[in-house]
């Protein structure tokens, strides 16, 4: 991959070009993902963490786990977060995380809460608040309104996507900040890809009940009710039909469709196609690694 100069102030003055108009920057010795369209805004801070560069021991390597897990210590996670915030250019900002529950609950923050709130998206137009989302397969989405100077951080698993959390977050920004969706910039970060995310046909059925274009989110759209011409041969044990085979879901496409339907312009949606399950060298995947998986973090803030 080609190497280009990074912005001033980075200890290591290089950034690596990645596909889809994203860059891997290495400020202060720690790699992170950024979107050039966001980086052009001098009053905006944003970053997506990746696996290397931390102090947490996992499978004979040191990783940047930024989520509190059973296998890691609280001290390690706090140090990893400190390093990530410093590399992102927000060492002193309060980190606003959520107790994520795969919902459509959205919080408006005017100041940092004393304890994490339960929900899956946050919005603000107050400088100095670092909104954060943690993922290990689900889709992280960062939004910025360059005209109103308002931001959002969204956690979208399949349940949150089904509940239209991305569209509802944009609605909250319209309500509180008078945001025009056509002005919004969106970054859809690393998540499990359509190559690896198998779900049951009942999930496909639920998506079809909510979205007219749902069949395009799946590799082979099936609801499980399709006739099986050899069903009697498949019955194991005799008299019991096997469970329908799963389908592959493209969560990134589903959320991009929501953003477009909400009024965003296609050229303002920046998606990275790194699959968390396919890239264990760079990312964490709960689906692939199980309880031993770490957590990634996506952050966004308005500079004070």
CATH of domain 3-194+265-302: 3.60.140.10
Q: What is the pLDDT along the chain (304 residues), one digit of tens a residue?
A: 332 232 333 333 344 544 446 888 888 789 999 999 999 999 999 999 999 999 999 999 999 999 999 999 999 999 999 999 999 999 999 999 999 999 999 999 999 999 999 999 999 999 999 999 999 999 999 999 999 999 999 999 999 999 999 999 999 999 999 999 999 999 999 999 999 999 999 999 999 999 999 999 999 888 766 555 455 555 555 555 666 689 999 999 999 999 999 999 999 999 999 999 999 999 999 999 999 999 999 999 999 8
- Is the separation of the CB atoms in 234 and 242 below 8 Å? yes
**CB neighbourhood size of 41 (10 A):** 15
Among 158, 178, 179, which Cα is nearest to 264's? 179
| Range list of H helices, 235-279 | 251-262
Minimal CA–CA distance to 196: which of 113, 288, 134, 106? 288
Read off the tokens for 235: 């019955």
Helices 251-262, 165-177: crossing angle, 10 deg rounding: 30
CB 97 within 8 A of CB 134: yes
Classify residue 275 by burial, with Cβ atoms within 10 Å: 0-12, 13-18, 19+: buried
pTM given for the model: 0.89
H helices of the chain, where? 36-39, 74-88, 158-162, 165-177, 201-210, 231-234, 251-262, 286-289
Domain boundaries, the chain: 3-194+265-302, 198-247
């Amino acid at each position: 991959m080609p190497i280009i100069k990074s912005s001033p102030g980075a200890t290591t003055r290089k950034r690596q070009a990645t596909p889809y108009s994203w860059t891997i920057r290495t400020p202060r010795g720690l790699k992170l993902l950024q979107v050039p369209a966001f980086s052009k805004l001098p009053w905006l801070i944003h970053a997506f963490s990746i696996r290397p560069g931390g102090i947490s021991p996992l499978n004979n390597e040191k990783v940047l786990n930024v989520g509190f897990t059973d296998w890691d210590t609280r001290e390690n996670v706090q140090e990893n977060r400190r390093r990530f915030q410093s590399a992102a250019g927000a060492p002193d900002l309060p980190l606003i995380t959520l107790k994520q529950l795969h919902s459509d609950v959205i919080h408006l923050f005017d100041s940092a809460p004393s304890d994490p709130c339960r929900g899956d998206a946050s919005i603000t137009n107050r400088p100095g608040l670092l909104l954060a989302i943690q993922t290990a397969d689900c889709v992280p989405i960062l939004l910025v309104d360059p005209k109103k100077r308002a931001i959002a951080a969204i956690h979208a698993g399949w349940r949150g996507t089904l509940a239209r959390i991305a569209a509802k977050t944009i609605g909250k920004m319209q309500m509180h900040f008078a945001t025009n969706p056509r002005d919004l910039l969106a970054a859809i970060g690393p998540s499990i890809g359509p190559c690896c995310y198998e779900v049951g046909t009942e999930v496909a059925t639920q998506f079809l009940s909510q979205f007219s274009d749902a069949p395009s989110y799946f590799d082979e759209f099936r609801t499980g009710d399709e006739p099986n011409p050899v069903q009697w041969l498949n019955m194991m044990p005799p008299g019991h039909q096997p469970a329908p085979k799963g389908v592959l879901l493209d969560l990134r496409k589903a959320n991009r469709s929501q953003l477009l339907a909400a009024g965003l312009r296609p050229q303002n949606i920046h998606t990275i196609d790194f699959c968390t399950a396919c890239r264990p060298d760079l990312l964490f995947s709960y689906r692939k690694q199980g309880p031993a998986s770490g957590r990634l973090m996506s952050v966004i803030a308005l500079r004070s």
